[in-house]
Structure 1
Amino acid sequence: MTDIVIVAAARTAVGKFGGTLANTPAPELGAAVIQALLQRSGLSGEQVSEVILGQVLTAGSGQNAARQAIIKSGLPQAVPGFTINKVCGSGLKAVM
């Protein structure tokens, strides 16, 4: 049996609605989080087996923001990912 572990966690900055992050697409924020996690954990992109991102407001982000973030972050394109949309519970559900 393969052990599944969480080696690091991060989140985007918290801003007010319509504030300074309003013009930054969610996949770009997700890519920044992925890059920061790789740096903090010391893992290479080849060691990542899956990406699960929680996103509160998905409208206007296009399809599967997690997949877009994977591609923008430089992870190998073979890494799968999916986006959870459970409004305020998205981040917690992503960890579960």
Structure 2
Amino acid sequence: MLILAKAAGIAILVWFYLTAKEKGQPAFQWAIIGVIGYWVAWWAFKLTALAPLAALFTKSPTMIFLVTQIPALCGMAAAYFIRKKLLADVAAKSE
């Protein structure tokens, strides 16, 4: 059931690593920042809001499956904004 979460975590690791290499920044550090940001957002949503949302759809296994993917989507959104912030910092530093 966590296939999307695991795949997204790996994709974010690679995405941050390649972006850092492209910008001449420490690639390993960026990759770790991206993955940690993703997993913190994933866990925060999972621990706070997932149970009440899943409780709304107890009779529909399909909806429960879809709702349990929401933490991965929140983690991906957090990773996007973290990457955007890192890129803005690089642009500001190069000026």
TM surpasses 0.5:
no
- Higher relative strand content: 1
Decide which structure has the larger Cα Rg and report it.
Answer: 2
Normalising by structure 2, report the TM-score: 0.30
Normalising by structure 1, report the TM-score: 0.30
